[in-house]
Amino acid sequence: MRKKLIVGNWKMNGRRAMANELCSTIMHEMQNFKNIDVTLCPPFILLDEVRKMTADSECMLGAQDLDMHNDGAYTGQVSAGMLKDAGCEWVIIGHSERRTLFGETNLTVGKKAKQALDHGLKPIVCVGETEGERKAGQETSIVQGQLQSVIDEIGIDSCKDMTIAYEPVWAIGTGLTATPEEAQTMHAFIREQLDLQHDETAKACRILYGGSMKQDNAGSLLGCPDIDGGLIGGASLNAGEFLGICRSA
């Protein structure tokens, strides 16, 4: 039985005061969420603030990206070792905003996933098709390509330590959500791809859904057999919404 995982991706939002307020509201209910995993991914500069706020709870800490290199002359970048040192257990990799706005490719996503695993961080690797790709009937081939390039880099045996987030690009931050049927179909496809290569990995690997998940649609999505949690963007900035999703999980 895979434990549900709810991840809050704050994106480039927040100040220390906001982090304090949001975390303290979430912390009031954390003791009710013993049966699920909860992770918060604030911007780098707020990691320490959130670490302190969540230190006495089961809530885990994650980053939104990392550099594919070890420490060195990479001005402005943040390494896997630094994230570990800051208390992170998780790191989001290959978010569609990173792919479309910052030129990340399947190759760099694979290298970042490897870098995370090599440093004991758990990667949450994002995959998902654009609206145009879905309209052209290419959604499964796009997702398969994104997934396979990570598997090629890290090896199928390491995939048990990876979490996959299926995030249809057309649903991210748009208010449009994949229907439970659309999401379940893609999640089952992703699991099948893993199963073809290693059945134990396919059973163990958590596959999250992301794309305008909110408290009022979370229950139907999280009730699908292959949806093991959610990667939450906008709604993770609202304590009431985020807690509502955690309750659904």
Catalytic residues: 95, 167
- Residue 231 contacts ligand PEP per CB under 6 A: yes
For ligand PEP, what does the binding mask look like between residues 85 and 124, x meaning CB under 6 A? ----------x-----------------------------
CA distances from 85 to 120, 142, 202 (A): 11, 35, 30
- Residue 213 contacts ligand PEP per CB under 6 A: yes
Which one among 94, 128, 168, 233 touches ligand PEP, defined by CB under 6 A?
233
Q: DSSP readout, 127-170? A: E---HHHHHTT-HHHHHHHHHHHHHHHH-GGGGGG-EEEE--GG
| Nearer residue to ligand PEP within complex by CB, 150 or 218 | 218
- Residue 132 contacts ligand PEP per CB under 6 A: no
- Residue 212 contacts ligand PEP per CB under 6 A: yes
- Residue 211 contacts ligand PEP per CB under 6 A: yes
- Residue 210 contacts ligand PEP per CB under 6 A: yes
For ligand PEP, what does the binding mask look like between residues 161 and 200, x meaning CB under 6 A? ------x----xx---------------------------
CB 226 within 8 A of CB 184: yes
Partners of 39 in beta bridges: 7, 60
CB of 211 to ligand PEP, least distance (A): 5
Is residue 93 within a helix (H) or strand (E), and if so which, with residue range? strand 90-93
Total interface residues for ligand PEP by CB under 6 A: 15
CA 48 to CA 116: how far, in whole Å?
19
Nearest residue to ligand PEP, by Cβ distance, number only: 233
CA distances from 98 to 92, 93, 241 (A): 10, 8, 25
* DSSP label of 69: S
Is residue 119 within a helix (H) or strand (E), and if so which, with residue range? none
* Residue whose tokens read 């089952």: 188
- Residue 9 contacts ligand PEP per CB under 6 A: yes
CB of 73 to ligand PEP, least distance (A): 30
Contact positions vs ligand PEP (CB under 6 A) = 9, 11, 95, 167, 172-173, 210-213, 231-235
